[in-house]
Structure 1
Amino acid sequence: MGLMIMINHWLLFFAFPLAVVSTEPSQKNMLSEKWAANQGFSGIVTFAHLPHKSCLATEGLDFDVAIIAPYLTFGPRAVRDASMRLSAGGGYNIRASHNPLASWANLIDCGDIPVTPYDNALAMRQLKEAFVELGRRPATRSLARGSGSSPIGISHGTSKPIIVTIGGDHSISLPVLRALKEVHSTPVSVLHFDAHMDTWAPDTDSYWATEQSRFNHGSRSSLHVGLRSRLCGNDEADYKTDDEQGFMRISSDDIDEIGAKGIISKINAWIGPSKPVYLSVDIDVLDPAQAPGTGTPEVGGWTSRELIQILRGVEGLNVVGADIVEVSPPYDSAGQVTALAASHILYEILTSVSKRGSVQTKKAESGKHEL
């Protein structure tokens, strides 16, 4: 008798399975709403809880803005970890009236680029090829229309995504710039925030210069902002290369003379709103009191508030790529203040890129409606 009762119960269960386990859309939506959101301390560690995809190994994956890191140091992991309080559900930027993590652009964390740790020249080649591969993917939305002048971001009628890199050594900017030149078929200006010029030739202060020594974090051309380091020799000969190639230099001390607004005006006037720009931020542009976790700290730097204010002031630039580099967790404080500063700087960059794209898109759509 008891066995018959058990069989009847099982028959009832299988006769009405939908009453027990529902797969209706409403049920799925309820589950997503109930369980999908992570707290700041939970979930797999990606930047700002963005969805993670192995972008380089996944064909046909579309995105607008990709966060990626060359796996050279533990800096990217620390920045991602420090960004855990950021999320699409809690990413509204009050000053910009914009949530970059949940507005306009499709953002994704592409993980790490698996570069070799044994051969710098090969690592540079791997990085360039990775950035060319990602840069040629079609964007989900029209970043060409949203991020500035029409030629930039357009190749054969398709728009290109923006790649934002977490470093790592500052040498990663070299293969990124080479890739951007190839992807966009045009030179790209560089807005470079750093305590150091980073444009010294390999043989500036050494007899033992080699081809391999060319691959270091001091071999790029850029518009330098936040300078305060010492020079080689007994004069200002180090500035000669900068002057000959038309670079502009803004020192850290300039903030006392002309203020953040003056620096913002200089940058915007020098670059303009339409030129494609690569934005590179070395965390050592901040004072060591604000960012001790970096390899070459220099006293007399800016506060994180001052740097963020300047970055907000240049949000009208046509940024086609960006990086935040030189975060070194072994030198950081117990509270990870350097990684925290880097994660927020990256958040501000994403805000500017997303907000500019959103505004430009609305203007373009408004113009179409008027026609």
Structure 2
Amino acid sequence: MIASMLSLLALSAIASAHSDHRQKTIAGPHQSLWYNTIPGDGGTQADSVFSGISTFGRLPYFPCLSSEAEKYDIAFIGEFVSVYWLFCEVLTVQALPSILAPHTDLVQDSARVASDKVLAVLISSSRKLGFSGGYNVPLEANPFVSELKVLDCGDIPVTSYDNAWAIQQIEEGHNSLLMRKPFTDADAEGLSRAGKTLPRVITLGGDHTITLPLLRSINKAYGPVTVIHFDSHLDTWKPKVFGGSPSQVAAINHGTYFYHAAMEGLLKNDTNIHAGIRTTLSGPSDYENDGYCGFEIVEAREIDTIGQPSLQRVTSTIEQYADMPAGTEGIIKKIRDRVGTENPVYLSIDIDTLDPAFAPATGTPETGGWSTRELRTIIRGLDGINFIGADIVEVAPAYDTNAELSTMAAADVLYEVLTIMVKKGPLSISKGHEL
């Protein structure tokens, strides 16, 4: 009897300990080992980086699609569909991986593998932020300590059996988050069609097809927008060129979504740009079609030649870019000159922008890409642009290294994007000052 009572007391103690996931300050002889506050300014509680619920950068979590009780200025949302390729797995905000593919047994296996890896991007970010506090030295801002409210809103629930229906669910889920009143009141007219200041949504994807329903959602709020697209591939191919278009559903995939976006009038003409392109083509007409869709192209190899006419091909672009800065600064200037600083801009990042040496975990890797350092530098150079939303896609955690290079790179890229958004403040016309 006594043994049974002791066992019950022990179980009760364990249950009580797990009922509150918050980390308690260490007391006793080991108290000196506990950081009560982060070293340096701010006085932020330095919790263990491995405790509590896993969210991006240890952001507060709220199920925003289930309730509108919490307002936010920036929301992270996961979308875990791979519409086209089985092996384009997912990177979601929480551990709820799923793959949209026809073979259930393969889906279960890949989802099982992904479930162990999918939090890597969050953990890798949290490990650093838990000790350093999150201050971004180059951008001189802390995205986790500001006037803006940033939430992890979980995942958009999406069917695994119907591509067309899944795309509609993504659009509606995203639009539900986008059209709400933000946490921070803006005192001036916003950039949306209705003249309102709206919150911004950062989407962590499945494959790149999700950008089409996201742009459809954004079009309802802003009308046609400018797009900055980091990728090794154009993704503006006509359906009959890419995939053969055997059906209307199959015509929408991760290589054609920008073609559909252009045909639907979702893109602002002649202000869009690709960066990091290095794919093979079906022929020169692919570039012609890309221009028809409203894009300019920055090839990955230009980072070695821009601003150096002696190294460039003999084309009409030599005179145009002869006075450009070299390297990343030249790439940054080319992007900024194209998109401007007044337009609402959507940012879409495919992890295969990076060379496979830095991000091997993706479905369609291409050699000859930029390094993680170069991509982060280029993104930081876009500080001040009116980013109304962003996504990062095509991360396949099951194919990552043991060191989780790809997911760590994705986390760091998102960190730069979030910092730019927070630093910009609410996107209203006269309140574009930095917080």
Report the TM-score, using the length of structure 1 for normalisation: 0.82
1:226 maps to 276
Q: How does 1:237-316 map to 2 (within 5 A)?
A: 237-258=285-306, 259-316=327-384
* Match for residue 210 of structure 1 among 241, 247, 259: 247
Question: What 5-or-longer segments of structure 1 have no aligned partner?
Answer: 1-32, 367-371
**Residue correspondence of structure 1 range 120-159 to structure 2 within 5 A:** 120-142=163-185, 150-153=189-192, 155=194, 158-159=196-197
Please list the CA deviations of residues 292-341 of structure 1 after superposition, one character each: whole Å capped at 9, or x if unmatched: 01111100000000001110111121100001111101110001000000
Corresponding residue for 1:236? 284
Instruction: Tell me which amino acid in the other structure corresponds to 2:255.
Output: G
Deviates more, 1:109-118 or 1:242-251: 242-251
Shift of 1:74: 3.9
**C-alpha contact (below 8 Å) 2:277/2:298 kept by paired residues:** yes
- What's the CA shift for 1:206? 5.0
Report the Cα distance in structure 1 between the residues aligned to 2:256 and 2:187, rounded to whole angstroms: 30
Secondary structure at the counterpart of residue 159 of structure 1: coil
| Alignment deviations for residues 120-162 of structure 1 (CA, whole Å, 9 cap, x no partner) | 10000000001111011111114686xxxx4414746x42100
Task: Classify the secondary structure of the residue corresponding to 2:229.
Answer: strand
| Structure holding more helix per residue | 1
SS at match of 1:187: coil
Please report how far the alpha carbon of residue 241 of structure 1 lies from its aligned counterpart in structure 2 after TM superposition: 1.1
The within-5 A match list for 1:149-228 is 150-153=189-192, 155=194, 158-184=196-222, 186-205=223-242, 207=244, 209-221=246-258, 223-228=273-278
CA distance in 2 between partners of 1:242 and 1:144 (Å): 39
Kept after mapping to 1: 8 A contact 2:229/2:347: yes
**Secondary structure in structure 1 of the residue aligned to 2:425:** helix
Moved more, 245-254 or 219-228: 219-228
Moved over 6 A (4+): 33-36, 358-366
In 1, the alpha carbon distance for the partners of 2:90 and 2:290 equals 32
TM-score (norm 2): 0.70
Aligned equivalents of 1:144, 1:109: Cα separation in 2: 26
Deviations 1:58-79, CA, capped at 9 Å, x for gaps = 1232100000011334422332
Verify the 8 A CA contact 2:197 2:428 in the aligned structure 1.
no
Give the direction of change, closer, same or farther, for the CA distance of 1:248–1:98 in structure 2 (3 Å limit).
same
Change (3 A) 1:364 1:273: closer
**AA matched with 1:59:** E
Change (3 A) 1:240 1:64: same
* % same residue: 42
* SS of residue matched to 1:214: coil
Which deviates more, 100-109 or 339-348?
A: 100-109
Q: Deviations over 1:33-59 (max 9, x none)?
A: 789642222221100000111000012
> How far apart are 1:81 and its partner, in Å?
3.0
Q: Secondary structure at the match of 2:257?
A: coil
Change (3 A) 1:200 1:96: same
Question: Do the aligned partners of residues 288 and 43 (structure 1) sit closer, same or farther apart at CA in structure 2, a change above 3 Å counting?
Answer: same
Give the aligned partner of residue 351 of structure 1: 419
Q: How many residues align?
A: 326
Post-superposition CA distance 1:226-246 (Å, at most 9, x none): 0001011xx311112112233
Q: Return the alpha-carbon distance in structure 1 between the equivalents of residues 49 and 69 of structure 2.
A: 31
Shift of 1:347: 0.3
- Deviations along 1:178-198, whole A, 9 cap, x unmatched? 0001022x2111100000001
Q: 1:154 to 1:83 in 2, by over 3 A?
A: farther
Query: How many Å separate the matches in 2 of 1:181 and 1:154?
Result: 9
The answer as to whether partners of 1:143 and 1:153 remain within 8 angstroms in 2 is no
Partner of 1:331: 399
Q: CA deviation at 1:364?
A: 7.0
Equivalent residue number for residue 82 of structure 1: 124
Cα distance in 2, alignment partners of residues 324 and 71 from structure 1: 12
Q: What SS does the aligned partner of 2:78 have?
A: strand
Give the superposed CA RMSD: 2.5
Instruction: Sort the Cα spacing of 1:338 and 1:313 in 2 relative to 1 into closer, same or farther, 3 A.
Output: same
Larger CA Rg, structure 1 vs 2? 1
Tell me which residue corresponds to 1:25: none
Change (3 A) 1:93 1:292: same
Alpha-carbon spacing, 1:37–1:54, altered in 2? closer, same or farther (3 Å): farther
Change (3 A) 1:52 1:202: same
Q: 2:135 aligns with which of 92, 102, 111?
A: 92
Q: 1:44 to 1:207 in 2, by over 3 A?
A: closer
Flag structure 2 segments of 5+ consecutive residues without an equivalent.
1-35, 38-43, 82-88, 93-117, 259-271, 307-326
CA distance in 2, matches of 1:364, 1:75: 31
**SS at 2:295 equivalent:** coil
Aligned partners of 2:293 and 2:208: how far apart in 1? 21
Which position in structure 2 is the counterpart of 1:319? 387
* Distance (Å, rounded) in 2 between the aligned partners of 1:207 and 1:314: 36
**Map of 1:50 onto structure 2:** 59
Q: Higher mean Cα deviation, 55-64 or 285-294?
A: 55-64
Residues 354 and 207 from structure 1, CA distance in 2 versus in 1: closer, same or farther, beyond 3 angstroms? closer
Provide the C-alpha distance between the structure 1 equivalents of 2:385 and 2:161, rounded to a whole number of angstroms.
37
